[in-house]
Every structure is written in C-alpha cells, then in structure tokens.
Amino acid sequence: MSSPLLRLVVLYGGVSAEHDVSRVTAAHVLAAADRGRYTLVPVGIAKDGSWHRNDFAAAALAAGDDIGNSLDIEGPVVDPVEVITGASDVTTVVFPLLHGPHGEDGTVQGMLELHKVPYVGCGVLSSSLCMDKGMAKEVAARAGIPQCRWVTLRHGVDDPRAGAARAIDELGLPVFVKPANMGSSVGVSRAGTAEELDRAITEALRYDDVVVIEEAVTAREIEVGVLGNGVPETTLPGEIRPGSDFYDYTDKYVTGAAQLMIPADLPDAAIAQARELAGQVFVALRCAGMARVDFFYEEDGRGWLLNEVNTIPGFTPASMYPKMWEATGLAYPDLIDRLVALALDVYRRRSSFSIEHA
C-alpha cells in the first residue's frame, strides 16, 4: 500500500503590500509541486485578513488543469486553525508564501507553532528579526558581518529632527531611509539634502515606528540563496541591475525593468566569499529552511556589505531565489521538496525537546 499523501497547505495573498506578488508565487509553487507526493490545499488570505480555502484551484490542480499565473482569493471562508491542523491522520505541512508584515515577520509562524504544525522556512525569532532591518543589523554586527553605516530612530523615543541631524552628522548625505518593518521597497527613499531627509523620515514613519537611515553606498547588488537547517547550502550569487535610480517598488513589480544576472559575473574568490558570508548571516540570524541574503558589493571599496535578509523571498520561477538554485543544480520542483523535508526536520527536532526538569 502506498503511503498517504502529505497535505501541503499553501498560504498566499495576505494583508501586506506584497499581496499580489504572493498570489503569483502561489500559482507557480502549486503548479510545480509534485502531485504524486502532496495533496495541495491552496488557502488565500484576503486583504481584510479572512482566510479562504480555494477549492476551485485545488480541484483544477487535482484534475491536472492549468491554474493560470496568479491565484484569486476565492472559495469558502475557513477557520485558520481548522485549515492548518487539517485531518489528524495525515501529516500537514504549511508553506507560507506570504511576504512582508503578517506573513514573513513571525506572526503566522507563531500561530503555526502554537498549533504544532510543521511549516516551511524560518521560525518565529528569525522571521521577525530579519523583518526588522534595525534589529537584524544589530545582530549581524555582533556576529562580525560587514555592513554599511546606519543609525535608527524610533517614534516616541527619538525626536525625528534630532535623529535627522544625528544621521547627517554620522553618515553624511546622501542616505537611504527605510521603515524597519517593510519590504518591496515600500516607504524606502533616498535623501540628498536635509529637507529631503525630513520628508523621507516622515514618509518612513507612515509605515513603522522605527526608521533606519543608512549611508548611500555605490555598489553592485548581489544576492545569494541559502537552504538548510544548521550549516546551510548556498547558491551561486545572482545580480540585480536596477532599472531606475534604485531597486524600488515600480522596478520590482510594475515595469520589471531591473535585469537579473544569474550567475553574477564575479571572480571566483569573490563568489566564494559571498557564499561563505551568506551562510554566516543565515546562521547568525538563526534562519532555518530558506532565506535570500542580499549584499552590496563595493568593488573598489569595502567589498561585501550585508543589505538585508529575506526569509520568504520571491518564489516564482522567474524570481531570483529559485533561479539561483536552478543555476546551482537544484530544479524548482526539487527545491519545493527540499523545503518540505527541512520543515519536517525542524518540527521533529523541536518536538523532541524535553520540557521536564531533569
């Protein structure tokens, strides 16, 4: 008798600015997942936060039909707990394909932990740590990871004007200003003057209470995919050549003008350094399963500088993370299988911990 299929719940949509991107990602992951191995359960999260079990897509997938390039949020409203815990006689693994706040930031991961459900990717701590650009920098700095210079300011603690003055004093101009907890370049701006900096801080404070201000670096943007638990495996680096001033939201999702170069054209020694460093970052920030580690590469300066870590990177077949794995010898459907296996490993290990006093 063949073993029962594993139930793979794919969460997509979500309440963040990256809702639409997530719907595209989910369509591709579901289409590529091995139907001989998984019962696929697509669950869309609407912008109002309600959860919908997409039975139409599930039926189409089961029939081998095309589900298109982007999944709608449709189907019956379901109780999140019911859908993630599912049937007690089959193993369920949840694949959160949710980017940004309330998906990539540890909140959904916390819910899954509470209900003892295995899930793909980073746990609560590393998810929220990597989501917070300020805290991630603190921890990475402590681990000796090279980064650009930065300052943070916090609403209710620091006066924005004083924070701006401190930033100019410590970093000079121009600078990049970012809300600590966002993604997709939302709320990110470049400021070349004191007035622009004030405006940029006001803009960033619309999205979060913590604002990170960084020296603007002139560097190539290079990314490395990481996979594993503990000591991870890494991909060949890929490069982003932004289509505009910087890699902003329009460039990422509207015009798609940015060019992706995979693998990046770099000397062997630089490639080895980037991969080594990406692995160190992954470990330092307690990542598990997957992450995409984004660097600035100052060719004639400081070399590798960590920019940020994405714990749920873009995941369409045209996205950096899967394409870098492809270039490194791991095909898209196999990547999905590896991630599910890693999720189960973490789950088994966590379940084995003693909670009793010896």
Ligand X SMILES: Nc1ncnc2c1ncn2[C@@H]1O[C@H](COP(=O)(O)OP(=O)(O)O)[C@@H](O)[C@H]1O
Residues involved in catalysis: 18, 184, 253, 292, 294, 308, 310, 314
> How far is C-alpha 57 from the chain's CA centre?
24
**At its nearest, how many Å lie between ligand X and the CB of residue 302?**
12
Residue whose CB is less far from ligand X, 86 or 242: 242
Residue whose CB is less far from ligand X, 22 or 307: 307
Burial of 29 (0-12, 13-18, 19+ CB in 10 A): buried
Question: Reduced to 3 states, what is the DSSP secondary structure of residue 67?
Answer: coil
**At its nearest, how many Å lie between ligand X and the CB of residue 14?**
16
Which of 116-139 are b and which e, b meaning 16 or more Cβ less than 10 Å from the residue's Cβ? ebbbbbbbbebbbbbbbbbbbbeb
| Gap between the Cα atoms of 213 and 152, Å rounded | 6
Q: DSSP labels for 186-201?
A: TT-EEE-SHHHHHHHH
**At its nearest, how many Å lie between ligand X and the CB of residue 13?**
19
- C-beta atoms surrounding 356 within 10 Å: 4
Task: State whether the Cα torsion 222-30-98-89 is positive or negative.
Answer: negative
Closest residue to ligand X using C-beta atoms:
247
Binding site for ligand X (CB under 6 A): 148, 176, 178, 182-185, 188, 214, 216-217, 221, 242, 246-247, 294, 307-308
**At its nearest, how many Å lie between ligand X and the CB of residue 281?**
14
Element (H, E) at 296: strand 289-298
Q: DSSP labels for 116-163?
A: T--BSS--HHHHHHHH-HHHHHHHHHHTT--B--EEEEETTTS-HHHH
**At its nearest, how many Å lie between ligand X and the CB of residue 16?**
11
Backbone angles phi, psi at 348, to 5 degrees: -60, -40
Residue whose CB is less far from ligand X, 38 or 221: 221
| Gap between the Cα atoms of 120 and 9, Å rounded | 10
Residue whose CB is less far from ligand X, 119 or 176: 176
Residue whose CB is less far from ligand X, 312 or 340: 312
**At its nearest, how many Å lie between ligand X and the CB of residue 356?**
42
Residue whose CB is less far from ligand X, 108 or 217: 217
The residue whose two tokens read 């873009």 is 314
